[in-house]
Amino acid sequence: MKPKLKPNNTHFSSGPCSKFKGYRLNLLSNAPLGRSHRSKIGKAKLQESIEKTKKILQIPDDYRVGIVPASDTGAIEMALWNVLGERGVEVIAFDAFGREWANDIKAELKLSNVTYHFADYGHLPDLSNVDCDNDIVFTWNGTTSGVKVPNADWIDKNRKGLTICDATSAVFAMEIPWEKLDIITFSWQKVLGGEGAHGMLILSPRAVKRIENYTPDRALPKIFRLKKNGKLIEGIFKGSTINTPSMLCNEDYLVALNWIESIGGIYSAIKKSEENLSVIEKFVEENDFISFLPISKEIRSNTSVCLKLDLESEKIDKLLQLLLENNIAYDIASYRDSPKGIRIWCGATIEKDDLEILCEWIKWAYKKVK
């Protein structure tokens, strides 16, 4: 029978992701609109975002945190263009975005001393083959594949190279071993359900040293430049952004950070996401028509949960259309380059009850199109 209950929140997109329960636009009323981002109040608001990020994520005191343009893509590209080329590079790619960074390193930066570690969707490369004397570029969580690295045990604490990690679907939902990472990037619109166009760039002391001591043999546009006269531009990490940020979006980010604190902090957010994943795990266990794209539980993402269905492509489209027409779930088709299926966001801004109801509707829609 057609389910009677509907989710209170029907937004299960993997980016931009859902706002948290209780979010209202009037929470942004303190945004300094019409004011310069370089004014005293503007810089203070941006600095507040930086300091709260460090505090909530428990980032080491000697790491720099900055707000940069162009979402996570801008942040990771900024890192790649500033630091790569000093030594060999190891690229780990197991989803669409990892492959994008691999392509940029090969086709745009034109680096030759590069080792590529590729894996098909649902799989993870053999990380024991990665040489930590080289720089390492990888995603912590493959948003388009539903695969995550299970830990950082494979990264040598005495490594000579830098570890450059795109952690945009992992930060605020998974434990991040900061001491094993040198450059970390993420965006507001993922796990926190913030607004787009702004990225976060986190640098270890080792990364700062590389930036100051290494000048790549390529032009860097202003929007990418992290140093001046051989020194890191410290203002970027104190609220003086490279270009004009949205003070409204920044206020939205602050509201999301305050919400994380209100539910108990980072570990509560991680636990909430893991409990959300358990709802999907139970559903998959009870229904043989649906399965996880990742081949093992150990590498299964608890945010961007990617699933396969025993349906032809056109019937999956019909299933998604049924969910849309009934106002049950929006934007849960798998990523365009991924195997056909569905992708359900299970980060902390999603409520467990809504996922349980969604699962019942997926079961109904499956039987309807089957």
pTM of the full predicted structure?
A: 0.98
Distance CA 46, CA 188 (A): 13
Contact 19, 11 (CB under 8 A): yes
Averaged pLDDT in 10-residue chunks for the chain of 370 residues: 97 98 98 97 98 98 98 98 98 97 97 97 98 98 98 98 98 98 98 97 98 97 96 97 97 98 98 98 98 98 98 98 98 96 98 98 98
> Residue ranges of the domains in the chain?
28-261, 265-369
Amino acid in the structure at residue 277: L
Distance CA 370, CA 358 (A): 18
pLDDT of residue 119: 98
- DSSP per-residue codes, 59-104: --TTSEEEEEESHHHHHHHHHHHHHTTSS-EEEEE-SHHHHHHHHI
Q: Looking at domain 28-261, does it have CATH number 3.40.50.720? A: no
Give start and end residues of each alpha helix (H) in the chain. Answer: 40-57, 71-83, 96-103, 205-213, 247-262, 266-286, 313-325, 352-369
Exposure of 247 by Cβ count < 10 A (0-12 exposed, 13-18 middle, 19+ buried)?
Answer: buried
pLDDT of residue 319: 98
Only one residue has tokens 């998974």, namely 174
Q: Which CATH fold would you assign to the domain 265-369?
A: Aspartate Aminotransferase, domain 1 (3.90.1150)
Running DSSP on this structure, what letter comes out for residue 246?
P
Instruction: Tell me the three-class secondary structure of 230-251, residue by residue.
Output: CEECHHHHHCCCCCCCCHHHHH
Only one residue has tokens 């986190």, namely 202
Give start and end residues of each alpha helix (H) in 263-345. Answer: 266-286, 313-325
Task: Tell me the two tokens of residue 303.
Answer: 């945010």
Running DSSP on this structure, what letter comes out for residue 9?
-
Give start and end residues of each alpha helix (H) in 93-197. Answer: 96-103
Distance CA 176, CA 169 (A): 12
